[in-house]
Amino acid sequence: MIQKKNVLNTVPVICLGALLLGSAYGQLHTPMTPPPITALASDILPTTGNVRALDVVVDFADAKYDTDRRLSDEEISSYLFGTDNTEFYPCESLTSYFDRASYGSLHMTGNVFHYTAKGTIASYEKTNDGYETLVREVLSGLNDTIDYTDYDSDGDGYIDALCLSVPSGGNADFWYGCTASWWASTLPDLDGEKLNYYVISDEQPYADTMDYYLGTLAHEYGHCMGLPDYYKYGLKENFEATTGDAGIERMDEAAGDFCPLSKLLLGWYLPAEVQIYHPGSKKTDITLADSSMQTDTPAAQTFTLTDDTQEGSCLIIPRTDASSYFSEYMILDYITPNGNYDGMFSSGGLRIYHVDATLANDEYYAPYLTADNYSPVYDSTNNGRRILRLVNDGNGFYRNGDVIDGTATGLGWYDNNGQVTIDTGYTITVDSVSADQKKCTVTILPDN
């Protein structure tokens, strides 16, 4: 979850460059640089490259961990950043999880430290600057132990990733898993480094709860990279943005892999792996850069999607604007129960997400997503525009031979009232799935 007091700075120019990184998949992966997410958030946890996370396990004078269950700092570090773990697969460590999610673009390592706070846990709940009193004390107290420049992998002057884990015993309405940004007070000298995003984790570092610890931290580090929550705020039940086997998503219910929208914004796809449907074009393999290659003749277009759990592959159907990822569109991918979805469903298929990633600027000219939970124009009933919806929500995947048209639940555009009532004007067919389940072919046909 993201705390509300969070001002995002804008970086208005996005260019598609090349950054060559070694991949665990045995190839060079050339992601989008800078990633599209930098149009929304700056000073973020780098989404590509070798990054180092700093995890501090904090206790208090009156709030301690269960000494019989609390893992040592070395054991916690092995769970977070080890590469030989198999327990809790596919989120067996942050290092392995993010390597698979990013197709080798993001390699996360890090270190774990311990700090005992000077005050009682309740004393930190009464300050006027949220968590910052504790964060400032912890970072200052460890200053002689830690060289904070070691945790600034891209040299932008900001610590890449910081997590403070806290024990049970405090006010649960204050100490909960969230990502916050530094805003109220002055930081001590941290070897010249500054801090923007940081995580507070109330998951406990015990062997029998480490799966929740890892899964929650993977979600929160998604926020540190600039991603929003997709789930619906204010609900204890039925809060997921997308449901069923096809709807499992890391920024929704903190499970499975990142969806194609998340991977797109984080820059984990190669430019050539993002196919764009252009109405009237006869070209079947079109990327964003090919938007001028259109004809006036509507034609069926066929696309091949590879298994998105193994290598990047998605297809975008824009509503009108084919030049920006911050607009309204459908994004399709094909997945199997492999990679970060290992064992989560029996067989996969095609997913179609309805995205509204439209941007606006607030009074300070900082950009925000208009369909985000914190947007000033968001429908708090959760029945209006949302960043992410799933076509045929709750009913699983589309598979070989399926035909998806205007009768499919959720396949439509938003009207002026934020309701999905406008027909896309397309029919999508799942033409074939390869015998080895690694490829899926789909055709998009305009209705007229």
Where along the chain do its domains lie? 21-224, 246-446
**H or E element at residue 367:** strand 367-369
pLDDT at 286 over 50: no
Q: How much of the chain exceeds pLDDT 90, in percent?
A: 84
Identify the pLDDT of residue 442.
Answer: 98
Identify the pLDDT of residue 339.
Answer: 98
Identify the pLDDT of residue 294.
Answer: 43
pLDDT at 21 over 80: no
Taking the C-alpha atoms of residue 426 and residue 447, their distance in angstroms, rounded to an integer, is 5
Structure-model confidence comparison of residues 186 and 110, the more confident one: 110
Which DSSP category does 190 fall into?
A: B
Mean pLDDT of 1-16: 40
Identify the pLDDT of residue 19.
Answer: 26
Structure-model confidence comparison of residues 322 and 302, the more confident one: 302
Q: How many CB atoms lie within 10 A of CB 178?
A: 21
Identify the pLDDT of residue 27.
Answer: 43
Identify the pLDDT of residue 321.
Answer: 77
Closest C-alpha to 24, from 78, 103, 80: 103
CA distances from 291 to 297, 314, 318 (A): 15, 16, 11
pLDDT at 222 over 80: yes
Tell me the average pLDDT of the chain.
90
Taking the C-alpha atoms of residue 64 and residue 117, their distance in angstroms, rounded to an integer, is 11
Identify the pLDDT of residue 1.
Answer: 77
b/e map 311-320, b = 16+ CB within 10 Å: bbbbbbbbbe
Mean pLDDT of 409-419: 98
Identify the pLDDT of residue 3.
Answer: 67
The confidence band for 6, taking pLDDT boundaries of 50, 70 and 90, is very low
Lowest mean pLDDT among 12-26, 45-59, 196-210, 259-273: 12-26
pLDDT at 9 over 90: no
Mean pLDDT of 220-236: 97
Tokens of 62: 């009156």
Identify the pLDDT of residue 281.
Answer: 63
Please give the angle made by the CA atoms of 379, 332 and 336, to the nearest 5 degrees.
Answer: 115
Phi, psi of 307, deg, nearest 5: -60, 115
Half-sphere exposure of 275 (CA within 13 A, CB side): 22
CA distances from 69 to 55, 61, 64 (A): 18, 19, 11
b/e map 105-141, b = 16+ CB within 10 Å: bbbbbbbbbebebeeebeebbeeeebbbbbbbbbbeb
Taking the C-alpha atoms of residue 205 and residue 201, their distance in angstroms, rounded to an integer, is 10
Identify the pLDDT of residue 184.
Answer: 83
Reduced to 3 states, what is the DSSP secondary structure of residue 390? strand
Mean pLDDT of 24-36: 62
Identify the pLDDT of residue 67.
Answer: 93
pLDDT at 13 over 50: no
Identify the pLDDT of residue 31.
Answer: 66
The confidence band for 32, taking pLDDT boundaries of 50, 70 and 90, is confident
Give 236-247 pLDDT, tens digit per residue: 999 999 999 999
Give 138-158 pLDDT, tens digit per residue: 999 999 999 999 999 999 999
Identify the pLDDT of residue 284.
Answer: 46
pLDDT at 100 over 60: yes
Mean pLDDT of 159-183: 96
**H or E element at residue 216:** helix 210-224
Taking the C-alpha atoms of residue 139 and residue 263, their distance in angstroms, rounded to an integer, is 32
Phi, psi of 220, deg, nearest 5: -65, -35
Alpha helices in 33-180 (DSSP H): 73-81, 94-101, 132-141
Q: How many CB atoms lie within 10 A of CB 166?
A: 27
Mean pLDDT of 279-285: 58
Identify the pLDDT of residue 29.
Answer: 55
Identify the pLDDT of residue 289.
Answer: 39
The confidence band for 12, taking pLDDT boundaries of 50, 70 and 90, is very low
Identify the pLDDT of residue 14.
Answer: 26
The confidence band for 185, taking pLDDT boundaries of 50, 70 and 90, is confident
Tokens of 74: 């070395």
Identify the pLDDT of residue 219.
Answer: 98
Q: Which residue has the tokens 């392995």?
A: 96
Identify the pLDDT of residue 298.
Answer: 61
**Residues facing residue 288 across a β-bridge:** none
